[in-house]
Amino acid sequence: MKLWNKGFDIDKQVEKFTIGKDSELDMQLAEYDVQGSAAHVQMLCSIGILTGDEEKILLAGLADIAQEIRDGKFVIEAGTEDVHSQVETLLTQRLGDVGKKIHTGRSRNDQVLVDIKLFVRAKIKEIAAQTQTLFDTFIALSQEHKNVLLPGYTHLQMAMPSSFGLWFAAYAETLVDDVQILAAAYKVANQNPLGSGAGYGSSFPLNRAETTRLLGFETMHYNVAAAQMSRGKTERAFAFGIAGIAATLARFAMDVCLYNSQNFGFITLPDAFTTGSSIMPHKKNPDVMELVRGKCNRLQSLPNEIALLCTNLPSGYHREFQLLKEILFPAITELSNCLQMTTFVLQHINIQHNILSDERYNCLFTVESVNALVQDGVPFREAYRQVGAQVQQGTYQPLKALHHTHEGSIGNLCNAAIAGKMQHVMDTIIN
């Protein structure tokens, strides 16, 4: 069934090409399509387009479909173009002519828009919750290992003493920034487009404030043309949030692969988390984190892919927008899987103690030696020259006592403050 059928058949090859993966991807929108339709029905009744009895019949029919979706019994039948068509077809088959009234005062354009907005809102909450779980794991490990020292690097050259506490907490706080971007995307998504029709409104006296309230949106897209122009912008905003988290996961995965290698040996993964070689019997490869790295590197292209799809499109609806689902929906699943796997691996990671007792790391303490001389009254540049000369001459002896007390340093991680930052951001999404 095609809602736009006017008495002629479309070429089958053209039909297959234009429908694409819509019926498959639209299954993810089914529950949201029913939610949007239920709000629309209630609004139509409030303005006298539907009678009270028609409202009850339609809401009951939509509730039955919603239950079928939850039970996994809902399908988009062959020959049905999309989820919107399937829901309307079922209502008409089961309820008769009253089912045909459900599309009054709306277009598939605003119908899919409200589905996408509701879907994105829900998925942002899910991704944010998974990110919170990973964040909590980082903070817990930071607290547990806050006094275990670790070499710090710049340019992949030994730099200064770090700690596992600092390393884990750094990724935790970086995730706070990533969730900030998610929160901004949530605000973009949390606007009601229903009632904008095809982008030019309706001659029906629609009560858009009512559907905004019923669907729990913070506000509405007031300008009906702007509502349609949000297609692509909503997805791209979410894509930036996905890309930000993916960048953090990819960097952490690289650290794990590096620190797990024999040349570093700072951490190890359980044997059950590694894979082997068909020719080298000693190999224990961190394939799981290499795949997280690769998948998350690929996810960072998401905003650009969406931007390129929408580049140079004029205002109004265009069929290219259908392809946004093919780009965004699999990416959400991919990031969710990577978050889950990274958290799982992190919960089982083994760290090495007493790393800095090895003489190869003595030069990590040169800054401590310079600072000690400065505190004794030696000008900084002179202290730097003296310690540098000792290193060059091979006479340098490190001062391994560390006195880092300022906020965010290895002696004062401020993990409680970082957790507070995360909670503040999460409150803007979850509540």
Token duo for residue 389: 């000369």
Using one digit for the tens of pLDDT, what is the confidence trace for 243-254? 999 999 999 999
- Which of 155, 278, 282, 357 is labelled catalytic? 155
Q: Which amino acid appears at position 128 of this protein?
A: A
**pLDDT for the residue 7:** 55
Note if 155 is an active site residue: yes
Token duo for residue 240: 């930036």
Bridge partners for 11 per DSSP: none
Q: Which SS3 state, helix, strand or coil, does residue 106 take?
A: coil
Give the 3-state secondary structure of 339-387. Answer: HHHHHHHHCCCEECCCHHHCHHHHHHHHHHHHHHHHHCCCCHHHHHHHH
Other beta carbons within 10 angstroms of residue 218's beta carbon come to: 12
- Which of 23, 103, 163, 277 is labelled catalytic? 277
**pLDDT for the residue 317:** 85
Nearby residues of 427 by Cβ (< 8 Å), 6 or more positions away:
none
Other beta carbons within 10 angstroms of residue 122's beta carbon come to: 13
Question: Angle 6-321-428 (CA atoms, 0-180°, nearest 5)?
Answer: 125
**pLDDT for the residue 80:** 84
**pLDDT for the residue 4:** 43
**pLDDT for the residue 25:** 87
Q: Is the dihedral of CA 212, 336, 33, 189 positive or negative?
A: positive
Task: Pick the closest to residue 143 from 358, 413, 385 (CA basis).
Answer: 413
**pLDDT for the residue 401:** 87
Location of structure tokens 């089958």:
12
Side-chain-side CA neighbours of residue 364 (13 Å): 23
Task: Pick the closest to residue 325 from 183, 125, 112, 109 (CA basis).
Answer: 112
CB-based burial of residue 386 (10 Å sphere; 0-12 exposed, 13-18 middle, 19+ buried)?
A: middle
d(CA 182, CA 234): 11
Task: Pick the closest to residue 295 from 259, 331, 266, 346 (CA basis).
Answer: 331
d(CA 384, CA 280): 47
**pLDDT for the residue 19:** 61
Location of structure tokens 């039955």:
64
Q: Per-10-residue mean pLDDT for the chain, 431 residues long?
A: 53 65 85 97 97 98 97 90 92 96 94 96 98 98 97 96 97 98 97 95 96 97 95 96 98 97 94 88 91 97 95 87 93 98 97 95 95 95 96 93 92 97 94 71
Note if 163 is an active site residue: no
